[in-house]
Structure 1
Amino acid sequence: MTTTIPVGSGQAAYDVHVGRSILPRVPAALPDRCERVMIIHQPSTRVLADELRGAIADTGREAYLAEVPDGEEAKTAQVAGFLWQALGQADLTRTDIVIGFGGGAVTDLAGFAAATWLRGIDIIQLPTTVLGMVDAAVGGKTGINTAEGKNLVGAFHTPRAVFADLDTLRTLPPNDVAAGLAEVVKCGFIRDPQILDIIEDDPAAALDVTSEPFADIVARAIRVKADVVSSDLREVGEREILNYGHTFGHAIEHNERYQWRHGAAVAIGMVFAAELAHLAGRMDEALLDRHRSILTSLGLPVAYRGRQWPRLADAMKRDKKTRGSMLRFVVLDALASPGRLEGPDPQLLLAAYAAVTDEAQP
């Protein structure tokens, strides 16, 4: 069974198709005017990408492969430059298409390449990780990292379509599945509490990519993101709530030189935001405790090492939600009731940090 979730409206509208064994539908989704396709993939999706290339070539189109590094190592100006060169050598025009085939880093990078080539050509996203399906490939955000921070260079560029084939997750390492579910949990806290109920009812089933509960919570998370971005395509308002846990989480990623899984960092980031809201008198203790229990049940971390505060604070100043010198955090006032905490007292931040470390001092 395939679930089709609409995103956006007008010229920015597209569908996210979620189901099993749906990759064979991709060639038929290409418009007649498309003559050339560049499939950007990572090493782990090389075989599937080549199979897709062959299927597209069978339709009479020219299809090319461009392999990029795994993970955040792909999201650099140097790799983007390599892709621009590949697109030029393949003679892709404004009627041709880029396909992003891989995890969230690949879909971010491929989207950025498509957004900047000839000032924007079509892209179809084929996420092959949980994180890619529920977050990176949906919403039209694209970007690369710099030495100063994550996703600081990018563009909004909505895809033509997204195909989330759950069967591509069968070989995903368990830790990657769990890390991707951090974004699913986030969607439960900010908008759809039934996600949390399903996970609490059977965490093992939630971690099993072949189970119906897993398929349900992934589709629910995608629907949450689709609903939010449809009302705020360029993140000028409500879309900020999708960054719950990301301000502190991105700071951890930067501090760890992007060697941490994104979901692991965001898991700690959500607990930090919950502690911050609790200390500010905006969240009750039961909801704070629920953050730790759900994330722990999925094997995700809820604490970070101590004595890192100066570096983390400096990284958070570069967060996209920061305005001038004022830090801004997405917090919860209640379950599925997100708000903003602007310019919190430095001592409040230190107390929240201490609560997510094993040490009392930064």
Structure 2
Amino acid sequence: MTQPRREVAVGGDRAYTITIGPGLLDDGALLAATLRGGDAFVVSDDAVAPLYLQRVLDALRAARPGLRVGHWTLPAGEASKTLARFGEAIDAIARAGARRDATVYALGGGVVGDLAGFAAAAWMRGVDCVQLPTTLLAMVDSSVGGKTAVDLPQGKNLVGAFHPPRAVLADTATLRTLPARELRAGLAEVVKYGAIIDAAFLDWLDANAAALLAMDDGALAEAIARSCAHKAAIVERDPFEHGERALLNFGHTFGHAIETEQGYGGLIHGEAVAVGMVQAARLSERLGLAGAADTARLRGLLQRFGLPVDPPAGLDTGALLGHMRLDKKAQAGGLRFIVWDGPGRARVQADVPEDAVRAVLEA
């Protein structure tokens, strides 16, 4: 039975719709409906492009005869999310002759979405971007909200722009070709929404863990829709991360530090976030905000999804703290973390003592 499409509205000054369901990449009318002008440019990577790029190009051309369509592909992986690759993307868009009313389509996971979105934000001071996420992590997190960026050796996502998409089209059929490791990594971000805002969602995830790991269409659609609805509501209230939106970074300060210290060649993002959430829960314990039972429950759920819950061996504590000091969530007054008072009750905690963080890292 074909799953019905679901829609999640993101409000605010630049409102858009997240459409979730199978077969969206072949729906030329849906793709073309996002166009304002006569130029389309698709950015993908060398893992996703062989599977889906030609289908998207064909669907666009069939729906809009005469459309000028260009494309560019980058090497897959976080190591490609650099200023150098950003420059290559801009050069490719320029060579395609994309005009002011062009639309950039980001076809891939979070790396493609971040880099293509940043290129769209910069080209002619901003052209439309449509996110076509092909990983679970991108569907529930990075494609929604308009945060685009590239990495530096000093840290993740340090150079970028807020550039909300014109639309997000999450074709759940693409998850069939997703490696199992990438599916599990995406589930870490799904768990995050239960941890920060919806304790009942954690119960649902626990009850449906087997179905999600088996890639049951109905369970995945429900998890994606609920995650997107939570993120959409937060982004609508705080589009530029001046307050509540920071809660979406639960686990990320620890996780980003691990990714950076490993040179973006060890744990992938969702795995690092899983470890980071457990460490954030442990920090919450140390600060007297939550109990050990809460940490144990979170740790157990992440383990059910096959995710790592302990940091890789051999990482230097001082180096990790150095990355955290440069993290975007840090402020002049000291380290700032997203902690919790237990499931569904996250908060921003400023001026966290480094000794407490060091103790968690060295535990």
User: Which TM-score bucket, shorter chain as reference?
Assistant: over 0.9
What aligned pairs does 1:64-75 form with structure 2 within 5 A after superposition?
64-75=70-81
Q: CA deviation at 1:75?
A: 1.0
Separation in 1, partners of 2:318, 2:54: 46
The residue type paired with residue 45 of structure 1 is V
Separation in 2, partners of 1:32, 1:274: 44
Contact 1:166-1:209 within 8 A present in 2 as well: no
Q: CA deviation at 1:77?
A: 1.0
Separation in 1, partners of 2:36, 2:332: 46
Contact 1:198-1:206 within 8 A present in 2 as well: no
Q: 1:106 to 1:307 in 2, by over 3 A?
A: closer
The residue type paired with residue 333 of structure 1 is D
Can you give the 5+ residue segments of structure 1 that lack an aligned partner in the other structure? 356-362
Size of the alignment, in residue pairs? 354
Alignment partner, residue 285 of structure 1: 292
Separation in 2, partners of 1:275, 1:139: 28
Alignment partner, residue 53 of structure 1: 57
What aligned pairs does 1:8-19 form with structure 2 within 5 A after superposition?
8-10=11-13, 12-19=14-21
The residue type paired with residue 50 of structure 1 is Q
Contact 2:8-2:19 within 8 A present in 1 as well: yes
2:207 aligned with 1:204? no
Separation in 1, partners of 2:5, 2:124: 34
Alignment partner, residue 347 of structure 1: 355
Which range moves more in the overlay, 58-67 or 274-283?
Answer: 58-67
Tell me how large the CA RMSD over aligned residues is.
1.4
Separation in 2, partners of 1:145, 1:306: 23
Alignment partner, residue 358 of structure 1: none
2:316 aligned with 1:331? no
2:247 aligned with 1:241? yes
Separation in 2, partners of 1:154, 1:25: 31
TM-score normalized by structure 1?
A: 0.94
Contact 2:43-2:116 within 8 A present in 1 as well: yes
What aligned pairs does 1:99-178 form with structure 2 within 5 A after superposition?
99-178=105-184
TM-score normalized by structure 2?
A: 0.94
Q: 1:32 to 1:6 in 2, by over 3 A?
A: closer
Which range moves more in the overlay, 73-82 or 272-281?
Answer: 73-82
Which range moves more in the overlay, 212-221 or 236-245?
Answer: 212-221
The residue type paired with residue 272 of structure 2 is A
Q: Tell me, what secondary structure is at the counterpart of 1:100?
A: strand
Separation in 2, partners of 1:268, 1:31: 37
Contact 1:198-1:217 within 8 A present in 2 as well: no
The residue type paired with residue 173 of structure 2 is D
Separation in 2, partners of 1:83, 1:222: 28
Q: 1:351 to 1:39 in 2, by over 3 A?
A: same
Q: CA deviation at 1:196?
A: 1.4
What aligned pairs does 1:263-278 form with structure 2 within 5 A after superposition?
263-278=270-285
Q: Tell me, what secondary structure is at the counterpart of 2:149?
A: strand
Name segments (4+ residues, structure 1) moved above 4 Å: none
179, 193, 200: which one aligns with 2:199? 193
Which range moves more in the overlay, 120-129 or 48-57?
Answer: 48-57
Contact 2:282-2:292 within 8 A present in 1 as well: no
Can you give the 5+ residue segments of structure 2 that lack an aligned partner in the other structure? none
1:163-184: CA deviation from partner (whole Å, max 9, x where unpaired): 0011001011111100111100
Q: 1:307 to 1:75 in 2, by over 3 A?
A: closer
Q: CA deviation at 1:80?
A: 0.9
Structure of higher RCO (CA pairs closer than 8 Å, 6+ residues apart): 2
1:221-270: CA deviation from partner (whole Å, max 9, x where unpaired): 11111111010111001000000000000000001111121011001100
